[in-house]
Each structure stands twice: as structure tokens, then as C-alpha cells.
Structure 1
């Protein structure tokens, strides 16, 4: 079945600066669109949305403009800084590119109070004016503050990345499970089935991933989930191929319609592609 990848990272160190990669040696190299699709096409992945890679602030707009010119990249979620006074100017520039579908500010690398400030909240409330969504990237212990942010911006569409970053390796179902159930009650949130491999350790099995993925789908329902590869982070504990195979195994009992919703149909609606 056709897959639309909603969470592809591409890394071009000859073009852009990625300060965080100095602390991630396994990922600190070039990850090109050609190399990705050499594997992805055979897995049924026909196209992808590029997810910002936390480049240096000066490179954020350049990264977005560059990836939108690459083959099979049908949209981008751009880096942003809602804690800055000039945020609206930034999203106005981004909105000049029709294939920018949303923005993201990684929150698990910054103090918790950053996303709770009045300025941050007021700024992201402008996103619907530009038809942009906000991808939420939080640790499991930060899910409560994520919910507070969502509740203060009810007109913004949020996508919760990586199943809420559970501790898969430690089998940390609780209190993550209760937080996900509560998160799903917020009508302006979509969940992204992605990233769980990275938190599973190197010797994971499908049964290790299954309870986390199944709980997110059960909580949000088939109409409010999308799929992402989180490539190349996925290579830390496996490969793109293993993640796609694991996904198919986990959802094997679903109907064709439900599978299509997860793998491409919901993403086409949510990200307007």
C-alpha cells in the first residue's frame, strides 16, 4: 500500500549548519534525498514531507527553500522560533512558499517554560491565519505541558510527533499511556506514528513496539493518525525497511481503509497535499 512519509529528515552539511549533530556521531554525515528514496521506493513510499532538522537559526529559511526543490518532496514542515518577537514576520516569509505545510519548534531540547510563555502562545495562535500546523516534539514527561499549550491555542492544529516519545526500551507504558489518552481528548491534535524505534534500544522486537503504537491508534482513532519514518534517526536502532515492515505487522489486522488512512490518506488531509 502506498505510503506518504510525513517525517523525513535530510542532512546536507555542505550547505547548512547542524550544531546538534556534533553530539550525534552516528548521524553526523550527509543524508541525501537520493539515498533515502533508493530504499524507500521499494517499500511503497512514493513521496515525503521534509521535517526540519534543527539547523542553525540563520539557515532555517534556506533549508526549507532548498528541500522544496528536491525530487519527491511534496511539502515541508519548517523550523521556527515562536519565542521570538519577530515570529509573525518569519511565518509570513514561509507562507510565500505554498508547499510549506507547517512549522516545528523542538521542545524537548529547551526549558519547559519556553512553550508556556504568553509570547510563545500568542505567536502560534497566528498559525491558522497562514494555514500552518504545528508539530509537537516532546518527551513523555513533558506531555502535560504539551496539553496545556494545545488548550491555550484551540484553533491551531497540532501533530504530536513520535507517539509522544515513550520509553519503549524500559517498557514505560505508565504514566505515558494515561497522558496519551488525555491528549487524544483534545480535538485539535493528530498523532504521528513515528520514532518509537529510536527509543526501543538496539534489540527491539515488533512486540516491544506494538503496545505503544496500538495504544496511540486506539486513543486517537484511525482518522487522527499519520505515519512517519523519522529517517535517518530510525537507523540508530534499525533501518527504514525494518520500521516499514514492523508497521505492517502491527496493523495487519486493520481493514484496508484503516491502513490507507494511517499510511497516506490522513496525511494528505492534515498537511493539505
Structure 2
């Protein structure tokens, strides 16, 4: 089994100012050593480490961790897609085979950035290097994302955290409509990850999470959905095992082969692990 969405960091209160005071559980360092016991207990063989800092130095940090731990099966790094020397940078990073794809924190950007011509042209260059691209947005940015994805139909994309539906408010009508449109693009996959952060951290219910799962699996299908935890962010709500067990319970309705795809097969295929 593969967890497709894990972060590691040496906590820096200035750089990591997105980690607010109420997220006290994650205001510290996290390394692969912190995951070994829970992965062993749950029989998870490895993870995809996803960038948490927007710099190329983050790539070096994750590569150094991957050299030290075989838990890291692949890396989603960061690169400036609007850099005039992008081709040179992509060629440089292509020698590091652990890097499977890239991500920018689009949830912090506006429509003008997401649909910027240079940004889109940067994504277009990824396919020739067999790179994937992770899409991180809030539910109210999905309309911009649809316009972006429509322009690059041959690029392998993956939607992080199901597009961050507003679970806490229960207002998911627009999110549902946009997920249906986005999922019509066969090149777009989806991670069931990060949802506890979008719910009431301490008082979410299984029913409201299963409702989100229903919509994701109905539209993307089991073959385009990948398991992820968003560890350590998940810890602001529950221990890792609670999230894993929740998805495992939902997946009891699937066949053995489908569960195998959700928890590992799809990850290996999408990220070329």
C-alpha cells in the first residue's frame, strides 16, 4: 500500500506561517522516522512526499530524506513554471529519478495566476519529461481549474484533497457540480486525502465524509482515485490510523482488485513508482 500525500518539514514559524496556533499538533518537525511505526502497523510500504515549501531547496530537502529512508517512493517537488529558464531547470531535475511530478500551492493564488499564459505553457512542458502535476485548490477555485485543465488535455493531473469541499458548512452543491465537470477529463485523477482539515476537526461525522467519497468515486471511478493521508496535517483532527480506517471501512464495498488499486496500484501507475 502507498500513501500518496505526505509532508515532511523542519518546522520554521516564519516560513511555515500557514500552520496557525490552533494547529499546535503539527508545529514541530516531521521526518520519515515519525511514520515508520504507523506504516508498519497498517502494512503501508511507502509514501509520496509532497512539497510544503515553494522553493527548489525543498526538492533538495526531500531528496536528502529519500536517500535516508526507503519509505519515500516518490517526490512531488516545486518548480517555478513561469521561469524563462524552465527548460533548463526541468532538464536538471530530470536526473533525479525520485522526483515524479510538481506542485504549486494554487489555493493561495487568484484566477489571473491560475490561468496565466506563461504558467499554463510551463505545465505544457512537463509531459515530455513524464512529470505529473498536483492541483491544490479550494472548492471555490474549481471553475478556474476546469479552464486550466481543458487547455492541456494530455497532461497527467491529480486533484489534491478532493478539491477541498466545504464539509464544515455542508454547502457542497457547487463543489459537486464542478467535480462532475472536472472528472470528465480522463487525464485528471483524484486523491482522497486532506478532508478532515476541511471538516469540523473535532466533530466531523462518518456520514458527511462518506457523502464526499460517494461523489468522488461516482465521478472519477475507482481506477482514478488514490489513497492519501495528508500527514501530518491530518493530526490536527485525528491520529493517522483513524483516517486510514475510515477509508478502509468505506472501501469494504469494493472488490479486492478495486481496493488494491485505491491503496496502491493507481499510485504506482500514476506516479511511475
Question: Which stretches in structure 2 are left out of the alignment for 5+ residues?
Answer: none
Report the CA distance between 1:13 and its aligned residue.
Answer: 3.7
Q: Does 1:61 align with 2:31?
A: no
Map of 2:154 onto structure 1: 155
1:230 is matched with 230
User: Following TM superposition, where does structure 1 have runs of at least 4 consecutive aligned residues deviating by more than 6 angstroms?
Assistant: none
The CA distance in 2 between the partners of 1:200 and 1:17, in whole Å, is 26
The CA distance in 2 between the partners of 1:218 and 1:230, in whole Å, is 22
Which residue is equivalent to 1:185? 184
CA–CA separation in structure 1 for the residues paired with 2:14 and 2:93: 19
Question: Which has the larger displacement, 182-191 or 110-119?
Answer: 110-119
The more displaced of 5-14 and 212-221 is 5-14
Q: What are the superposed Cα offsets for residues 74-95 of structure 1, whole Å, 9 maximum, x if unpaired? A: 1100012213323333222221
Instruction: Tell me which residue corresponds to 1:110.
Output: 109
Q: Is the 8 A contact 2:4 2:227 kept in 1?
A: yes
SS of residue in 2 equivalent to 1:85: coil
Change beyond 3 A, Cα 1:206–1:83: same
Confirm or deny: 8 A CA contact 1:67 1:76 kept in the other structure: no
Distance 2:119 2:258 in 1: 36
Aligned residue number for residue 15 of structure 2: 18
Give secondary structure in 2 for the equivalent of 1:251. Answer: helix
Shift of 1:103: 0.4
C-alpha RMSD of the superposition: 1.8
1:124-143 equivalences under 5 Å are 124-143=123-142
Matches for 1:1-273 after TM superposition, within 5 Å: 3-13=1-11, 18-21=15-18, 23=20, 25-26=23-24, 27-55=26-54, 57=55, 59-71=57-69, 72-201=71-200, 202-273=202-273
Rounded Cα–Cα distance in structure 2 between residues aligned with 1:61 and 1:51 = 9
Q: Give the secondary-structure state (helix, strand or coil) at the position aligned to 1:124.
A: helix
What CA distance in whole angstroms lies between the structure 2 residues aligned with 1:244 and 1:31?
19
Identify unmatched segments of 5+ residues in structure 1.
none
CA deviations on 1:197-247 (whole Å, 9 max, x unpaired) are 111112112112001012101101111111111001101111211100110
TM-score (norm 1): 0.93
Q: How far does the alpha carbon of each residue in 1:127-165 deviate from its partner, in whole angstroms, 9 at most, with x for none?
A: 011110000001000001111111111221100010110
Q: CA deviation at 1:110?
A: 1.8
Contact 1:83 1:115 (8 Å CA) reproduced: no
Q: Give the TM-score normalised by structure 2.
A: 0.93
CA shift for structure 1 position 58? 5.3
Cα distance in structure 2, aligned partners of 1:249 and 1:122:
41
CA contact (8 A) 2:132 2:156 kept: yes
Could you tell me whether the CA contact under 8 Å between 2:190 and 2:225 is conserved in 1? Answer: yes
1:21 is displaced (CA, Å) by 4.6
